[in-house]
Amino acid sequence: MLTYLFEYLEKQYQLPGASLFQFSTFRAAMAILFSLMIATVYGKRVILFLQKQQVGETIRDLGLDGQKQKAGTPTMGGVIIIMSTLIPVLLFARLENIYIILLIFTMLWMGAIGFLDDYIKVFKKNKEGLKGKFKVLGQVVLGLIVGAVLYFHPEVTMRDHDKTIITKDYTVEQVKGAEIKSTMTTVPFFKNNEFDYESLIAWAGDDAKDYAWLLFIPIIILIVTAVSNGANLTDGIDGLAAGTSAIIVFTLGIFALVSGNIIFSDYLDIMYIPRVGELLVFITAFAGALIGFLWYNAFPAQVFMGDTGSLTIGGVIAVIAIIVRKELLIPVLCGIFFAESLSVMIQVGYFKYTKKKFGEGRRILLMSPLHHHYQKMGYHESKIVTRFWIVGILLAIVTVVTLKIR
C-alpha cells in the first residue's frame, strides 16, 4: 500500500526519497525491519494474550528430560509469524503481482488449517487435533490451486536470455528474449540443468504436451504436502523449526534475487523469471518474522508455534521453491525436514515389519523424529538445535553453490 502511495507522491509532487519505493531491494529491506519489529514488540503482547486465554501446550510424557516443565507454555504462536509477515507485505509489496497473491493465499490457507488443528487440541481437549485426512486434504487442495495457477496463469512465464547475433550483412543486432509459458525447472549439478516436465509426456506425441498439467499439478501437490509435513515434524524442540526455516528462507531469497534479475540470471546462466523479483519483499518479511519469533521461541521457549506455524512455514517454503523453479533442490536445501520425515518413515516401517515377522515391534532409533533420538541419547536440546542449524547452513551453502557447479 505504501508503495502505491509513494509512487503517487513522486509522480504528483516529486517528493524527495519517494522514488526509492521503485526498487524491490529497498522495499525488501524495509519489510524485514518491519517484520522484526512487529514480531519482537507485538509478539510479547500476543504471548500474554495466549496466556490469558490459557492456550497452553499439552505435553505428552515421552520420557525426555525437561519435558514436563514445558507443559502450559502458550502455543498457537504461529499467528506471530503470520501477522509479522503479512503486515509488511501489504505495506511494501506490489499486491497485483501473481506470486505475491499466491503466497498470501498459501499463508492464510495453511495458517487456517494449522489454527484449526491447534484449536481442537487446546479448546476441545483432543490431543490428536484435526484428523490427519483433513490435514492432507487441505494440503492437496492448496497444491492443486498452486499448480493450476502456475500452469495456466498468463503472467507466470519465463524469458529467454537476450542474444547477440550477426546478420547477413555482418551487422550486430541484439535480439531480446521472448516471454514464454514453460514448465521447466532446475536440475542441480548438471551442465544443461533445465528439465521440462512436458518431456515426461512428450513420448505420447506433440498433442500430449497440452495435457502436461496432468503430471505437473500432482507433482506440485506432492511437493507441497511433503515439505509442509516435514516442517511440522521438525517442530519438536525449542527454536529448531524457526531457526532451520529462517536459513532455508534466506537461501530462497538469494534464488529469487538472481532469478528475477536479467543481469544476474544471464551471468549465472540460469532461467530468468519475469516478475519473480517481487518475491524478495515477501521472503525478507517472512525471514524477519521467523527470526523475530525465535526471540521468544529459543530455549527456554516462551511460546510454541504449534501447527499454526509449522504447517504454514512448510507450505510457504514449498510454494516459494516451486515459483523460483528450484523445487528439485528441496531434498538438499530442506535436508533437515527431509531427515526428520525419513526418520519417522523408517522407524514406523521397521516397527511394523518386525512386528509382523517376529511378533514384536523393534526400533532403529531410540525415538523419532530424529531430534528426539538425540535427546534420548542425552544431548541437551540447545546443543541439538545449534548443530542442526549448522547442518542447515552447510546445506544452504551447497544449494547456492549449485548455481555455478554443474
Look at residue 170 in the predicted model and tell me its pLDDT.
53
CA–CA dist 358, 60 (Å, integer): 29
pTM of the entire structure? 0.93
Within a 10 A sphere around the Cβ of 77, how many other Cβ atoms? 27
pLDDT of residue 66: 61
CA pair distance 150, 147, nearest whole angstrom: 5
Question: Would you state the pLDDT for residue 242?
Answer: 97
Query: What does DSSP say about strands 184-186 and 194-196: parallel, antiparallel, or unpaired?
Result: antiparallel
Of 127, 57, 89, nearest in space to 309 by CA: 57
CA distance 275 to 98: 8
What's the confidence (pLDDT) of residue 168?
55
pLDDT digits (tens, 9 = 90+) for 133-188: 999 999 999 999 999 999 999 999 988 655 555 555 555 455 566 788 888 898 88
Per-residue pLDDT, 208:
74
Taking 50 as the pLDDT cut, the residues of the chain under it are: 172
Domain positions in the chain are: 2-401
